[in-house]
C-alpha cells in the first residue's frame, strides 16, 4: 500500500468553512513463481539431455482464479520459470510422458509435484531414468547325410550397435549354437576336404529368406 502524509491547519473563528479531505490507497499484489529443472539419468544420458520435455501446470488463487498452461525444459538441468502468480496460489506441475519417450528406450518419469507460491521462487526438480531396450536371437544348425555324424559346427558372430560400434565372437556347440546380441549376422565357417569357406547366414538361408540356411 502506498499513500501520502500531510499537515492540516485550521484557521481560528467560528465561521470557518468545513474542510473536505479525501485519500486514495494504492495496493500492489505480491507475486512469485516457480521454476522447473529437468535432469536425465541412465543409458545414453548425454544424448537425452538435448531432448525438450513438456510440463503442464495448473494453479489456483483467491485473487485470479485458475491459471493453466505448459512450459518446456531441456534435460541439461537449466531452470525454466513459470508465470507470475499471486503469493499464496497453489500449483500442480507434471511432466507430459509423451514428450519423454525415445525410440529404443524405456523411461521412468517422476510423479507430479505441488507447490505454494511465496515471495521466493519455488524450485522444482524432475528426473527421468532411461533404460535401453534389449533382445536376443537364436542360431540353430542342423546337418543331414550319411557322413554328418556328431560334428562340432563353428559360427562367427558379428554384432553391431549404433552407439557402441562392432563386437565379434565365436561359439561351438554340438547339435546347434545359441548366441546373444543386439544386431548383426552369423557366418558359418565350413571346413572340408577342399579347404575352407565362409558363408554368411540370414534367417531362412545364406542369401535371404529363400535360401537353405538356418
The yes-or-no verdict on residue 156 having pLDDT over 50 is yes
**What pLDDT does 180 receive?**
37
- pLDDT > 90: what percent of the chain? 47
The answer to whether 211 touches 204, Cβ cutoff 8 Å, is yes
Which neighbouring-strand residues pair with 44? Answer: none
**What pLDDT does 208 receive?**
45
Q: What is the dihedral of CA 187, 133, 104, 131, to 10 degrees?
A: -140
Q: What is the pTM of this model?
A: 0.59
**What pLDDT does 135 receive?**
82
**What pLDDT does 20 receive?**
80
**What pLDDT does 8 receive?**
60
Phi, psi angles (nearest 5°) of residue 141: -115, 130
**What pLDDT does 136 receive?**
81
pLDDT tens digits for range 87-122: 999 999 999 999 999 999 999 999 999 999 998 999
Closest to 107 (Cα-Cα) out of 159, 162, 43, 32: 43
**What pLDDT does 179 receive?**
37
**What pLDDT does 22 receive?**
82
- pLDDT > 70: what percent of the chain? 59
Residue 207: CB partners within 8 Å, gap ≥ 6? Answer: none
pLDDT band, residue 21 (cuts 50/70/90): confident
Question: Alpha helix (H) ranges present in the chain?
Answer: 45-48
pLDDT band, residue 214 (cuts 50/70/90): very low
- Of the listed ranges 9-13, 121-125, 168-172, the least confidently predicted one is 168-172
The yes-or-no verdict on residue 171 having pLDDT over 50 is no
The yes-or-no verdict on residue 204 having pLDDT over 50 is no
Per the prediction, the chain carries an average pLDDT of: 75
pLDDT band, residue 17 (cuts 50/70/90): low
Amino acid at each position: 500500500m502506498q499513500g501520502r502524509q500531510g499537515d492540516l491547519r485550521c484557521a481560528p473563528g467560528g465561521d470557518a468553512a468545513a474542510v473536505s479531505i479525501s485519500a486514495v490507497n494504492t495496493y500492489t499484489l505480491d507475486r512469485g513463481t516457480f521454476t522447473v529443472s529437468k535432469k536425465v539419468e541412465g543409458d545414453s544420458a548425454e544424448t537425452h539431455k538435448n531432448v525438450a520435455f513438456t510440463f503442464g501446470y495448473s494453479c489456483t488463487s483467491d485473487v485470479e482464479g485458475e491459471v493453466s498452461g505448459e512450459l518446456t525444459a531441456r534435460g541439461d538441468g537449466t531452470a525454466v520459470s513459470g508465470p507470475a502468480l499471486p503469493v499464496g496460489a497453489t500449483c500442480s506441475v507434471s511432466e507430459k510422458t509423451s514428450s519423454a519417450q525415445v525410440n529404443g528406450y524405456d523411461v521412468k518419469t517422476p510423479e507430479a509435484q505441488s507447490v505454494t507460491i511465496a515471495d521466493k521462487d519455488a524450485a522444482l526438480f524432475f528426473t527421468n531414468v532411461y533404460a535401453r531396450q534389449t533382445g536376443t536371437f537364436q542360431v540353430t544348425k542342423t546337418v543331414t547325410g550319411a557322413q554328418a555324424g556328431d560334428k562340432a559346427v563353428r559360427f562367427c558372430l558379428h554384432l553391431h550397435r549404433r552407439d557402441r560400434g562392432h563386437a565379434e565372437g565365436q561359439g561351438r556347440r554340438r547339435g546347434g549354437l545359441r548366441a546373444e546380441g543386439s544386431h548383426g549376422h552369423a557366418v558359418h565357417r565350413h571346413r572340408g576336404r577342399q579347404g575352407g569357406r565362409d558363408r554368411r547366414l540370414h534367417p531362412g538361408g545364406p542369401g535371404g529368406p529363400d535360401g537353405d540356411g538356418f
